[in-house]
Chains A and B, each alone.
Chain A
Amino acid sequence: MVNPVLLIAVPLGLSFTIPLFGLISRKIEKYVPVVALIFNLVISSILIPEVIKQPINVFIGGFQPPFCINLVVGPVGILFSALIALVGLLASIYALDYIREGAKQLYHMLYLLLLTGATGVVLTGDIFNLFVFFEILCISSYALVAYLGDKAGIESAVKYLIQGAMGSSLMLIGIGLLYGLFGTLNMADIASNIDTVSSISIFVPMVLLITGLGVEAAIFPLNAWLPDAHSSAPSSISAILSGIAIKVGIYAVARVVFTIFGASSILQFLAILGLLTLLIGEVSAFCQSNIKRLLAYSSIGQIGLVVFALGMGISYGVVGGLFQLISHALSKALLFFAVGYMIYRSGSMDISKLEGMGKQMPLTSFAFTIGAFSLVGLPPFIGFPSKFLIIRAALSKQELLFTILVAFVLLGTVIEGAYFFRVVQVLYFKGNHTDLQREEAPIPALIPIVILMVLIVAIGVYPKSLTRMLNSASSELLNRVAYIRSVLR
């Protein structure tokens, strides 16, 4: 059996050796993240069949839980770590050519650290450890948002940093209160003792934790940083922030709500909050003329849909939510990759400047179209089965509230369709610029774009390939007793 600790240790170690590789030759340093993430992807895929049978627990320091820091590699953890490795690998291949200026060595180092933090968050079983990995993720993403060093980048990074630091401070207070109540930091141990104290004293740490994590997860009142940060970062980083960083925040919120607190009473509130996030994100995206801001707002909308699905608290809903997470990670990464070179070639983020791209950059425009259609939820792309599952789950609850909420979700999808079709129309049918000659994106950018297109269509045509994985992941999230038993024995 492969030790899952390697999933964290190898990228962490390699990220700090990048300057050493840079001493040998400045040309090889950019291949280090690619190697590390191929390793992570391979290890994650090897572990998947084992983990579905039986979650793997890793104890550090030779103590049994709850006295040690432990890694819990359950179906949810391995699903997320495989997703992180996949999207991270594609973005690092994309960055081979895309990142040409600035402190390239530091870019690759911080990039690998960001993904290490993300992998750590989804695998750890200790709540303070979760905080530490979260901070690794956050600090490297603050720095990467400011990577270009232009006006917009620095300003968004400052906003992101102030809000993110506030969020993690609140989270730390919540962790302190939990430690004061239970005298332990192990998530399974806290979960098993949660019924022994009154619900009032649980409420404050729960609210603090959800608020703190909600900043990174971009749930509605806490997402003011997201459109700025996602639109001013380099496109490869925007893809990672949209595809990975928010997802990790959602994972942490789900873990806190479902596993630690087992709070079924708060779920309806979360569902409504998710719906608000969805509608606000989609309506704001509709008003944008800047293509990257449009994509950033659309990320807020999609995250709202995921929170709504998780808030249903039934197994269908959680499966739908996780499916939507995967579908959004792949589609949004594809969109940002495609848009990155369109902006590069046209020199502007304005949607109207993209006229005629369909003829000049046919493959990139085609990729954008596929990503957009997939996010809207057209068959045969991956967005269709995920949205279909969520709506079916909401209807199967047979509550008046959720039937009304689903109507609003469909309204959000219609708005989403409207603005994505508008962009596609600009790409293909507007303007007459035969005189402009723009090159197609280079090969290192086309490789991840083509891989993502193939994946989006393949999973969309055959969604059953993920069902087994998602079913066991949703049962891990919903069945906290099994989680506690598997850790504490």
Chain B
Amino acid sequence: MNFIHNYIYYIGAFGLVFIGIYIILVKRNLIKVIIGLSILDTGINLFLISIGYISKGTAPIFSKIDMENAPMVDPVPQALVLTAIVIGVAVLALALSLAIRLYHHYGTLNLRKIKEQRW
């Protein structure tokens, strides 16, 4: 039980990562694949945040002079996640707009039926 209690964030994060990878590899519908990419991104963001997380830690802001010596969370992963979220949204937007164009051309989003280009 103790193990799960200590590593619950990592277990959750990698659970999301593997769910995302599974969806990308198995699903045939392009929209579902894009949803998989999004879940994968969320898992990674959660993982990055949990690297810097300390139980009962506060935000690392020195605003009060008489602040007590409380543990603080690491701010660097939070900055990384902020950047990663922005990049993830950009990729998602591009992917969805490409999906619209793909639908215009082929009339379907089934990736098994879209195979004009091949080895």
Contact = CB atoms under 8 A, between A and B. Distances in A.
Q: Indicate whether A and B interact.
A: yes
Interface of A: 128, 132, 135, 139, 142-143, 146, 149-152, 154-159, 161-162, 165-166, 168-169, 172-173, 175-176, 179-180, 185, 224, 227-228, 231-232, 284
Contacts of B17: 169, 173
Nearest to B117: A228
Contacts of A156: 117
Nearest to B119: A284
B52 to A, nearest CB: 8
Contact of B117 (A155, A162, A169): A155
A168 B33 CA distance: 16
A227 B116 CA distance: 13
Interface SS of B by simple majority = helix
Cβ-closest 8 pairs across A and B: A228-B117, A180-B51, A151-B105, A135-B87, A154-B101, A176-B48, A169-B40, A158-B98
A150 B77 CA distance: 41
25 contacts: A132-B83, A132-B87, A135-B87, A139-B94, A151-B106, A154-B98, A155-B105, A158-B30, A158-B98, A159-B117, A161-B94, A161-B98, A162-B37, A166-B40, A169-B17, A172-B48, A173-B47, A176-B44, A176-B47, A176-B51, A179-B51, A179-B77, A227-B119, A228-B117, A284-B119
Contacts of A169: 17, 20, 37, 40-41, 44
A224 B118 CA distance: 9
Interface of B: 17, 20-21, 24, 30, 33, 37, 40-41, 44, 47-48, 51, 76-77, 80, 83-84, 87, 90-91, 94-95, 98-99, 101-102, 105-106, 114, 116-117, 119
A128 B80 contact: yes
A67 to B, nearest CB: 10
A58 B117 CA distance: 45
A388 to B, nearest CB: 32
B102 A158 contact: yes
Contacts of A139: 87, 90-91, 94
A142 B37 CA distance: 15
Given A154-B102, A157-B98, A176-B44, A165 B51 contact: no
Given A152-B117, A179-B51, A179-B76, A158 B99 contact: yes
Contacts of B44: 169, 172-173, 176
A451 to B, nearest CB: 32
Contact of B116 (A132, A146, A152, A168): A152
A165 B91 contact: yes
Contacts of B77: 176, 179
Nearest to A136: B87
Nearest to B111: A158
A149 B101 contact: yes
Nearest to B99: A158
A155 B24 contact: no
Contacts of B21: 166
A228 B20 CA distance: 25
A364 B113 CA distance: 38
Nearest to A139: B90
Given A151-B116, A158-B99, A185 B90 contact: no
Given A151-B106, A151-B116, A169-B20, 16 more contacts: A128-B83, A139-B91, A149-B101, A152-B116, A154-B101, A155-B105, A161-B91, A169-B40, A172-B44, A173-B17, A173-B44, A176-B80, A179-B48, A179-B76, A227-B119, A284-B119
A6 to B, nearest CB: 23
Given A152-B117, A155-B116, A228-B117, A165 B105 contact: no
A250 to B, nearest CB: 22
A172 B84 contact: yes
B16 to A, nearest CB: 11
Contacts of B84: 172
A162 B119 contact: no
Contacts of B91: 135, 139, 161, 165
A151 B104 CA distance: 9
Contacts of A143: 94
A177 to B, nearest CB: 8
Contacts of B114: 155
Contacts of A151: 105-106, 116
Contacts of B95: 158, 161-162, 165
A180 B83 CA distance: 18
Nearest to B91: A165
A159 B114 CA distance: 11
B65 to A, nearest CB: 24
A411 to B, nearest CB: 21
A232 B117 contact: yes
